[in-house]
Structure 1
């Protein structure tokens, strides 16, 4: 049976500004994501994008390339002292799901879905080695490739490694920052691989991904923390 994936509704304004993320009310498209197992490969220790996914995917594995991100996410997952409080995010999701008094249940729903938080290494052919994961029904990747790739060749190579995590017919949901060349975190400036919307579409096509849906939200306000021009969401499936 097909499930539902959430995509940003680019016609709405942010309903909440988190410390680093704007949340917008999602819209749904039926019959796109199928199965029970999801792998997340996203920047930092963010988990807000997985709250809605936990409605449909009962088993998730979160992959992180940074030990500090693993530590921070493990603190939250196991309710340890000093964990970041994601209540603002679960509250928004509760409102969007018409469950305004159930944000704690939504928090627990996501925590029960996350089975493992693992280290990944894109220098390896199998990025989860020595762990062998089952192939996923869906892989979500948010802004990670922007920050681990230096050029087009690295982007293509790393995207291909992400695709290898998918079952035939499985779906990739990719969030991309368009025309971003840097980001500043805690006063330190980090390089970002700068690319266009067409580059992403062409990369998917070259690697055999079939695009099901694509949307772009242009930047509405500026700050000195980064210089992206737009956020792009692309949903595509792997050939059978």
Structure 2
């Protein structure tokens, strides 16, 4: 019998960061190599840079800021789940020992080909982290009670589809996130195409699947110009029913 999926309000009660890391971040799977490669290519162009980087919906992992960290001065990690924020804080303090971080750091550094070491890159990333804050995109002010400055760059990975339950909701959340981006700033997004769920341990969580055209239309409606859009196939692992993955690079028009 299929298990009913859990939704955004269930993450603090049911989401297990360590199980999630063990399930999805224990090796360089096709999903992760696609995402890491696309993040690398987006920033390798040299066109995306700025002072403030906001990573939205970070989860318990730092893969989405590895490439971006070299093109900003300060990194703000925003995450809904209390236990995920605790995991990020343990990583930042050095308490968390996760081989997956080293695996992904090593993969990206090889793509860059500059001879940097895993330990140096991780130390550099940690030095730039200015805060690990709560967020909830369902709220009109997603970062309340915190105040955050406009971001030059926003990165996000596998987040928006975990919250939205309809196209209008997704469009509303996209507009809220885009409002934090300064004019001329860039969004680099990794997400799912299609699907309804993903599984962490014994829990099944909602993943609102949209088509490529629906996704692109939502971000265009939010006031962003899509610069690049790339898709990758998702092998059927039984852990989710998504069709594939995408990366989007978009730029907010100058005022």
Pair in the same fold by TM > 0.5: yes
Which interval holds the TM-score relative to the shorter structure? Answer: 0.7 to 0.9
- 2:236 pairs with 222, 226, 229, which one? 222
Q: CA deviation at 1:48?
A: 1.4
Q: CA deviation at 1:100?
A: 5.2
Query: For residues 94 and 203 of structure 1, what CA distance do their matches in structure 2 show?
Result: 33
Task: Choose between structure 1 and 2: higher strand proportion.
Answer: 1
1:17 has 2:27 as partner = yes
Task: Choose between structure 1 and 2: higher helix proportion.
Answer: 2
Partner of 1:237: 251
- 1:36 pairs with 44, 51, 64, which one? 51
Where in structure 2 are the equivalents of 1:1-240 lying within 5 Å?
A: 17-18=27-28, 22-24=32-34, 25=37, 26-28=40-42, 30-42=45-57, 44-80=59-95, 82-85=96-99, 86-99=101-114, 102-219=117-234, 221-240=235-254
**Tell me, which stretches of 5 or more residues in structure 2 are unaligned?**
1-25
8 Å CA contact 1:17–1:23 kept in 2: the answer is: no
Q: CA deviation at 1:164?
A: 1.3
CA RMSD in angstroms, aligned pairs only: 2.0
**Tell me, which stretches of 5 or more residues in structure 1 are unaligned?**
1-15
Q: CA deviation at 1:89?
A: 1.6
**How many residue pairs end up in the alignment?**
223
Which shifted more, 105-114 or 87-96?
87-96
Query: For residues 168 and 54 of structure 2, what CA distance do their matches in structure 1 show?
Result: 24
- The two structures have a TM-score, normalised by structure 2, of 0.81
Query: For residues 189 and 59 of structure 1, what CA distance do their matches in structure 2 show?
Result: 35
